[in-house]
Structures are given as structure tokens and as C-alpha cells.
Amino acid sequence: MKGKFGTPGSYFVLNTGDKIPAIGLGTWQSGGDLCVQAVKTALSVGYRHIDCAHLYGNEIEVGEALAEAFKGSLKREDVFLTSKLYCTMNSLNKIENYVRVSLKNLGVSYLDLYLMHWPDSSAFGDATDPPSKSGSEYRQFLNRLKKAWKAMEGLVELGLVRAIGVSNFSVPQIKQLLKFAKIVPAVNQVELHPFWRQDELVKFCQLKGIHVSAHTPLGVPTSTPGPSDSSSGGEDEPGTPRISFRRSKSVHGPMLKLSTVAEIADRHRKTPEQVL
């Protein structure tokens, strides 16, 4: 690979001037020895962005894999590390402590990117879907958002993180944040895939110089059929497992099983996973 994160096209330039690799390994729902092996394998085949979060409960395992990788030819500056803050009602005074815990777990002295995991400050929910909340709880969070973001900005000043951003923020929520932010978010990481394009959000972020990073780029599979299945507008391809994607309204099955993807993969002599 040429340069810190490869040739142009293999990375994006953030509003901080730093480069973020175009493709990263997400560690959600990964744990134990499998997590360690997945991160080690990813780094060995060329991945240079590892996406973590305290809420995933596996930063120690990721740190174990990083430690092994750093014993070889890789250096800390060769890997772009992202982690996330899950902001609870009583956590606003502890944000510096939380990032230090993540740093200790990962075995590094700084993060390349630290995100507010959800625009939410109520009880814990799922790592991909926010917990339910009342209107009063949400208004309370908006009133406290300024304090939370100020603490995030302080992490940059302390040198604990290189860039800060948000995750799963909507256009109105980003507008609210920009009213008082001294540091414009470098990234908004959101669910983004062909079944959930979020064009308005993407265009707004681009206008504001905020890089949009896609999590769950193949959709969010669920184990049981959801409401979206009944209004998919078509039948699944023969032999395709019936898996729904949350918030999707035109689902025809997992993208890895689509014939179009298979044709593209075959043309390039790759597997469907490699072309996606």
C-alpha cells in the first residue's frame, strides 16, 4: 500500500485533514477468541481501520489482537482506530474517564476517532438500535447535548483523540449540535446501504464537511420476519433465506445472495463477500 492508508481512493480526507480508510472492520457482535482472530486476520490482509465501541464489550479482545500486530511490522500510526461513547444520564462528567478506559482496553495512547454512539442519554439499549425513550427524556438530552459535546472537544485538546464525531444523528440533531459546536463533527456514522440510502442526510453532511461513514452496509439482518417483509414489493430470489432488514421497505433478501452480486463477483473472479 502506498502512503499511510494506501493510494487515493482507498481513503477519505476528514475535515481535520487526517485520512480515514475507506473500508474498516466493524467489531459489533464479535467477541472472545473469534474477535481476536477476526481483527488479526483483517490486519494481516490489509485492513487499516478497526471500528470499536465500549458498548460492544470486546475492546479488550481487540486490544489483544492489536498488541500482537504491533509486535510485527505494523505501527500504531498504521491503524485507524475508532471507538464510541455511550452517553448515559449520569455520564456527562465521566467522559474523559470513559475514553481512558477504552484506551487502556485497546492498549493505545490515543484514538483516531471518538464518536457519540447515539443521540440519547437514557437507559442502555442495543448497539444498533437505540433504547426507547419518552419525549421528555429526549428533550432533556438535547438540553444536555452542549455539555456532552464540550467534553468531547476537551478530549481533542488533551490529545486523547484526534477527531470527534457522532453516530446515528439525524439532520435536525446535527443542526442542533452545530449551533454551539466549536469543533464540527468529523464523521457521522449511520446505517447506510442500498435498502436505506438516507440521501437527505448524506447531502446535508457533505454540505457541512462531515464525512458520512456507513455501518451495517449490507443491512441489519433480524432472525424473524419484520414488518418490512410484508411490503417488500416483490418475492425473494429462489433459495434466498427470508431475512428482514430493519427500517427497509423494499427488501428482496440478503445482498450476498442476490444474483446481480453473484454475477459481478463471478466477472471479477471474486466471492460475493469480496465485491461487497
Catalytically active residues are 56
Number of neighbouring beta carbons within 10 Å of residue 264: 14
What is the distance between the alpha carbons of residues 22 and 26, in angstroms, rounded to a whole number?
13
DSSP SS3 for 65: helix
- Interior CA angle at 28 toward 199 and 183, to 5°? 55
DSSP alpha helices (H): ranges in 121-227?
Answer: 135-158, 171-178, 199-207
Go through 112-129 and write b for each residue having 16 or more CB atoms within 10 A of its CB, e for each that does not. bbbbbbbbbbbeeeebee
User: Which residues have C-beta within 8 Å of that of residue 185, sequence separation ≥ 6?
Assistant: 164, 165, 166, 169, 174, 177, 210
Main-chain phi, psi angles of 73, to 5 degrees: -85, -20
Find out whether 118 and 151 touch, Cβ atoms under 8 Å.
no
